[in-house]
Structure 1
Amino acid sequence: MNGNWLRVTPAELEQARADLAWAYGLAMTHRDDDSDRWSATDKAWNGLDFLLDRLGVDIPLVLGAEDFVELPDVEPDSDEMFDFLDNLDDDWGYGPPSYLTPTQVTAAATQLATLTKSDLIHDVDPQELNQAEIYPGNWERPGTLAWVTHYLPDVRSFFAAAATDGDGVICWLD
């Protein structure tokens, strides 16, 4: 399970709202071209999300803040949710993508701008992540927290560039 982002112009975001299949094609093109409009956190997505939330970053930049598809009000791991997700006509991976508006991207970039790798893991007990069942687990292994922090400079750069260009960001797990 890997975290992914795609920078999109406001016009592309509007088109994605109307046509997620088109947006998926755009995302795969940018990913396959290793474009600077696509970025990923691999399996560190959940750890990064947990650590940013712990620091009070209030924009859910890993999973997105806005839904393209309204999910049913059922338990996340229920048969009803799995049936709903199976009936979606998409290839995004683990459920439909979400997104951040250009305003949310700017707010996220501002909050990330001064964060350091040390800030991200200051006073973190790896057991906190294990107890919270943060994917992929085994947080007590040496180097695991540093593995998450090594993504921070690229995350800062990606969101700074998106904010500078007035872009939104599509967020998804695959």
Structure 2
Amino acid sequence: MSMNGNWLRVSPDELARAATDLDWAHRLARTARDSGSERWTGIDKAWNGLDFLLDRLGFEIPLVLGAESFVELPDVEPDSEEMFDFLANLEDDWGYGPPSYLTPDQVAAAAAQLATLTEDDLIRGVDPTELYRAEIYPGTWERPGELEWVAHYLPDVREFFAAAAKEGDAVICWLD
């Protein structure tokens, strides 16, 4: 089973409801994904590579994994047994841990930064072994074309965040 990155555009009112009812938000996300709605998009297994490449460029908004949490996480190391136990006990269907989100202001800031970023900008000067050494999922960076595979998602990501910003939407982020 692979780990895939997902985003769902939601209005501020829908975000407020999601904060109190993640089951409702999950149903909304599944419906949007299953119907091919423009409110949902995914970047498959490229999520960690995109996150790494954006971070490498000094991208200010953590758009792949979100900046805000719906669930208060314990103050323990991210890869600790305590964190794994906490996440295992969460009752949700989101996949790999609880979703997070970007506020409408964060979405607008991300869209502005993405607007001028090209696929070439994203991967220029990157040695694939950097991603391998950093243990970036899915770990297939030695294969030719892997960086280009991540970069090919950029136009859709740019379009998704531009549309969300234009509508004043927030974005729910999750891995499944």
Would you say same fold, with TM above 0.5?
A: yes
Q: TM-score, normalised by structure 1?
A: 0.98
Could you tell me how far 1:78 is from its partner in structure 2? 2.3
Deviations 1:80-121 (A, max 9, x none): 112211221110000000000000000000000011110000
1:31 to 23, 30, 33: 33
Identity of matched residues, %: 76
Could you tell me how far 1:140 is from its partner in structure 2? 2.1
Within the alignment, does 1:60 sit opposite 2:26 as a pair?
no
Residue aligning to 2:93 = 91
- Aligned residue pair count: 174
Could you tell me how far 1:141 is from its partner in structure 2? 1.1
Matched residue SS, 2:87: helix
Which aligned segments of 4 or more residues in structure 1 are displaced greater than 4 angstroms?
none
Q: Aligned letter for 1:112?
A: L
Matched residue SS, 1:99: strand
Matched residue SS, 1:15: helix
Residue aligning to 1:117 = 119
Could you tell me how far 1:74 is from its partner in structure 2? 1.6
Residue aligning to 1:172 = 174
Q: TM-score, normalised by structure 2?
A: 0.97
Q: Aligned letter for 2:90?
A: L
**Structure 1 runs not aligned, ≥5 long:** none
**Structure 2 runs not aligned, ≥5 long:** none
Could you tell me how far 1:75 is from its partner in structure 2? 2.3
Matched residue SS, 1:7: strand
Could you tell me how far 1:77 is from its partner in structure 2? 2.6
Could you tell me how far 1:60 is from its partner in structure 2? 0.2
* Matches of 1:47 and 1:53, distance apart in 2: 10
Residue aligning to 2:132 = 130
* Matches of 1:113 and 1:54, distance apart in 2: 17
Q: Aligned letter for 1:159?
A: F
